[in-house]
Each structure stands twice: as structure tokens, then as C-alpha cells.
Structure 1
Amino acid sequence: MKTVLWATLTANGNYAQSSPEHPPKKEALDDFAAHAKTAGNFIVGRRTFEGMQAAGGGGSFGDVDIVVVSKSIEPIPGITVAGSPKEALDYLQQKGHQTALIAGGADLHNAFLGQGLVDELIFNVAPVLEGKGLHLTIDTDRYQYKDAQLLDCKPLGGGIIQLRYAVGCF
């Protein structure tokens, strides 16, 4: 199964954080919805899922399988809860999905990256700067370096540029 990590980054390289005062750009949200529909699924962490629910977007994905990775969330009707990134991928593979879309947040992305479970990266670089921000890491215990190959680069509109990379084997 191919795993695709989808994230929005700021122009200064931080993991973009949204808030009611600074919501995500429409073009990035539309792009995410298109990728989720194509994959037929997406994986999120508990805090990201709760944020989606609070914003009214937790149930607007129709037939898309949503998997929440959490050890502390209560069961939610229609939503699969997995205890780990590997468990989430195993579930989607058993359901017959060819691609898993890893959607957010930073802790979940870092868990997938740290365990070497990402085949492709999709970064939407938004035209904003953030002072303090979160970072994507592949290992927090020691220095690690991993090559990536640029597959595609395209504008999404609204000043957002999408970069798509293969990770690891090429």
C-alpha cells in the first residue's frame, strides 16, 4: 500500500497551524478533499479530528474511510479508531485501499515519518509566515537524513504552491 503524507507548510517552513482567526486556505482544503476522495480514506490524529468536528467538517466526507489514530478517544459511530500508525495502515489495507492518505496533525505525521511509513509527501506551501511553529521530523532522538525526489510542482491558486516528493526508494 502506498502511503501519502499531506500537509500545509508556511512559507518559512513551519507546519501550518490553523485557528478561527487564521483558517486554512480554501485552495488547500479543496486539494485535501480531492486527495481524500481519490484515496477513499484519510488518517488523522485525535486533536485534528476533534478540530474537524468542532469546525463542522468531521462528517462531510461521504464514503471516505476516516481513521483516527489515538489511544485515548472514545469510539465514534462510523469512524475507525486505531491505536498506532501501523494499525491504521493494516485496517485500510484489509479494506482493500491501494493508497492511504495521512492527513494530520504534526504528531501523527512525525510518528509515520519516524517509523519509515511514508512513501510520498505532498506539501502545500501557503503564503504566510509563522513565528513559532511545529516542525516535521523523521527522528527526534538522533540526526537522520533521508533523500526525497521531486515528482511534481504546481500552483493551487491563492498563492499556494504544491510540492510532491517520493521518499526513500527511487
Structure 2
Amino acid sequence: MKTILWATLTANGNYAQSGHDNPPKKEALGDFAAHAKATGNFIVGRRTFENMRNASPAPERDAAGSPFGDLDIVVLSKRLREMPGVHVAASPREALDYLSRKGHETALLSGGADLHNAFLEEDLVDEIVFNIAPVLEGKGLNLLLDPNIYSYKGVRLLETKPLGGGVVQLRYAVSQD
């Protein structure tokens, strides 16, 4: 299964930390929605999913109350066993196996530095999509490669494109060596 890691970073390389005072860029959110619709799914960490679900305005929710329509959503959590409206998986491999059984050929990893790092540690990422937001932040999380697993991991630039609003997207293939 092809796995795409999708993230918005700041211009200085940190994960963009969205909040009331600094909402996510609409261009990046639109791009996420397009990727999720194309794959028909996304995998997300529990905290990120709860933030996403709580931030969605009521008019964008479907009849069942979900802002995500008919997407297959997998929440990665070692503590939770179930959550209404989503599948809960305890590991990256379990999440991918579930989506594969549902007939998906591509999985979208959408949020949480811990989630992204877990997939990278298991060498389960085929492609990375970074949306670079035109902001600098003095705090934030980073993608971290475990030095016991990788001292260096090559990527190959596949595409760059402006999304508007100063957001630039970089798409990379991850070396599988």
C-alpha cells in the first residue's frame, strides 16, 4: 500500500501549531481535503483527530454529524480501543492492514508528529507532502528520525507548487533503501 505523509510546516521547519490566534491556512486545509477525497481515507493521531472534529463548523457536517463525509478514518491510539465513527488501530501496521482490507491502495497520514514519526520509524512512508506556511514559530514539533534506525534518509523531489496565500507545497518520494 502506498502511504503519503501530509503535513503543514512553518517556514523555519516546525510543524505549524494551529490555534485560535493562528488558524491553519485555508489553502493547506483545502489541499488536505483534496488529498483525503482522492485517497478516500486518512490516518490520524487521537489528539489531532479530536482537534479536527471539534474545529469543524456545524454547516460542514454530514447528516450523521461527521465533518468528514464517507471517508474511512483510522485513529492511531495505544490507549483507546474504540471511538464512534472511526476505526481505532494500535499500530501503524494495523492501520494500514485495516485500510487495505477496505480496498484502499493509498493511505493518507494526516496528523500528529508522533503519528508521522511512528510510520517513519517503521519505514512505512512512500511519499511526503509538505505545505510550507508563510510564518515563523519559536515553538513546534519536528519530524524525528531515530538515529538507531536512520542516520540519513534520502528523498527525491517530485513536485513543487504554490497553493496560494503564500503556501508552497513540496512533494517528495522517500527512498526505500
Determine if the TM-score, normalized by the shorter chain, exceeds 0.5. yes
Indicate yes or no: 2:164 matched with 1:157: yes
What is the distance in 2 between the residues matched to 1:127 and 1:137? 22
Give the distance between the partners of 1:16 and 1:94, measured in 2 at CA. 33
Partner of 2:33: 33
Report the CA distance shift for 1:83/1:125 in structure 2 as closer, same or farther (over 3 A).
Answer: same
What is the DSSP-based 3-state SS (H/G/I as helix, E as strand, rest coil) of the residue aligned with 1:38?
Answer: helix
Native 8 Å contact 2:10 2:136 kept in 1: yes
* TM-score, normalised via structure 2 length: 0.91
Matched, 1:8 2:18: no
Task: Identify the match of residue 123 of structure 1 among 114, 130, 150.
Answer: 130
Which letter does structure 1 place at the counterpart of 2:173? Answer: A
For 1:54, the equivalent position in structure 2 comes to 54
CA–CA distance in 1 between the matches of 2:176 and 2:76? Answer: 26
Shift of 1:142: 6.5
**How many residues in Structure 1 have an aligned counterpart in Structure 2?**
170
Contiguous gaps of at least 5 residues in structure 1? none
Displacement of 1:76 in angstroms is 2.1
Code of the residue aligned with 1:75 in structure 2: it is E
- Cross-structure match for 2:17: 17
Q: Distance in 2 between matches of 1:28 and 1:107?
A: 20
Secondary structure in structure 2 of the residue aligned to 1:34: helix
Does residue 70 of structure 2 align to residue 63 of structure 1?
Answer: yes
Q: By how many angstroms is 1:60 displaced? A: 1.3
Q: Deviations over 1:116-162 (max 9, x none)?
A: 11000000000000002211012155762011000000000000000
Q: 1:62-112: per-residue Cα shift (whole Å, max 9, x none)?
A: 111000000222522221000011100000011110100000111100111
Q: Which stretches of structure 1, 4 residues or more, deviate above 3 A after TM superposition?
A: 140-143
The runs of 5 or more residues in structure 2 that have no matched partner are none
Matches of 2:158 and 2:125, distance apart in 1: 15
